[in-house]
Structure formats: structure tokens, C-alpha cells
Amino acid sequence: MEGENTVKLHGSRKSPFSFSVELALKIKGTPYEFVEEDLKNKSELLLKYNPVHKKIPVLVHNGKPILESLVIVEYIDETWNDNGPRPASAPGSVYQSPGSILDQFSATTVLITKGEAQEKAIKEEIDTLKVVEEGMLEFFPTTPITNENQLGVLDIVICSVLGSYEAMEEVFGVKLIDPERNPLVFSWLEAVLKLPVVKEIRPTHEETVTFLQNLRDNLKVRKA
């Protein structure tokens, strides 16, 4: 039986999705055990905790599994809220504005489509980022964060969804985020990615490219 306040993260160090959850735990100062999963030979525990989709990451808190990276990030913020130093990123603020819009961004659709279907998916994601840019200008028009003590939910969501943008561009062959089209989102993302706590656990560009290519190969690519 899991002990009190036992936290385990089933994931892969090469996965940008696991990275976002680990970052959330790091900035909250929450002790956790990282369980490295072999995605070609997934553990019985992972299959037990996520029997339907069989995906990482899975956070297990006192024996309770929480699935999907953005859902897990929100759970971490709500569960360990005493350590969250940034009021603007408290639950009920970000998730009603740019963060909730970013939650709709899904590069997976671009990943598993091609031809006209992929072109449509790309346009939808670009439109989503345009709305996010406008929302951030309204809610967070200030200079991006400069140290890890300022990190909050919005920063983690940006990392989770957009942090591997260069690898996505290489695998997809298309530029989803552009500094001219999305200047605030881009500058905010770049500022977050330069922080030591992010660099410490972020997978390399090569690891992320390989992860996305393998993910694409394992998914059925759909045409229009």
C-alpha cells in the first residue's frame, strides 16, 4: 500500500509530456519518485493505472492515478498550492484565460494527418495560438519571468504545449509558432526555456525529435 504523500511519476525522460509534469513537481518542491517506462515494453503498473490509453505520463499520488499531462499539472497546482508563489497562476485564473485556450492546442492532430487534413489542422493550431497571444496581451502584458521562483501554471502549460516547438517543426515540416506572428508567446516561452530548473530536466532536441518520430510511426496517419 502506498504511504502518505507518496508521489510517483511514470514517464520517460525523453518525453516532452513527462517533462511538463516533472517541472510542475520541481517548482512546487514536491518530493517524487520517477519511474522510467520502456514505451516498447510498458510496465504492468502503467497498464494498471492507464488501462485504456496505456500512455505516459501518469502521476500516482497515494495510490491514485492522474492521467494526461495538462490535467496532472492542474492537479499538482491545486494539491500543493501552498508552494505556488505566483498569484496570477493560481487555479481559477490561468485556466479561464490563455491556459485554457492552450489546452485546446493539439499538435497530435498535425502529427497523425497529412495532405489537406494536415493543412486544416495546422491552420486550426495557428488560429489557436493567435487567440492565446491576444489573451496573454490582455491578462499578462508584462515582461516574461526572469527566475524560477516566478514560475506558475501558465509557464508550465506553455512548456508542456509549446516547449518542443523546434522538434515539432523538424518532424512536421511546418512552423507552428512564429516570433513575428506570436511575439509575446514566443518571448515568454524562450524566457522560460532558459531557466536552470527547466534546462535541468528538459529532454534534448534530438531526444524529442526521436520521441515524436516514434510516436508518429506508432500512430495511424490519416489523409483528408
By percentage, how much of the chain surpasses pLDDT 90? 27
CB 103 within 8 A of CB 70: yes
pLDDT of residue 21: 93
Comparison of pLDDT for 214 and 59, the residue scoring more: 59
Which amino acid does the sequence have at 37?
E
Element (H, E) at 41: none
CB 175 within 8 A of CB 169: yes
- CA distance readout (Å), 112 to 55, 70, 73, 115, 172: 16, 20, 25, 11, 10
pLDDT confidence band for 107 (50 / 70 / 90): low
pLDDT of residue 22: 94
Q: Reduced to 3 states, what is the DSSP secondary structure of residue 50?
A: coil
How large is the average pLDDT for residues 91-106? Answer: 48
pLDDT of residue 212: 86
How large is the average pLDDT for residues 51-64? Answer: 94
C-alpha cell at 72: 496532472
Element (H, E) at 170: helix 165-172
How large is the average pLDDT for residues 19-37? Answer: 92
- Phi then psi for residue 113, to 5 deg, are -120, 165
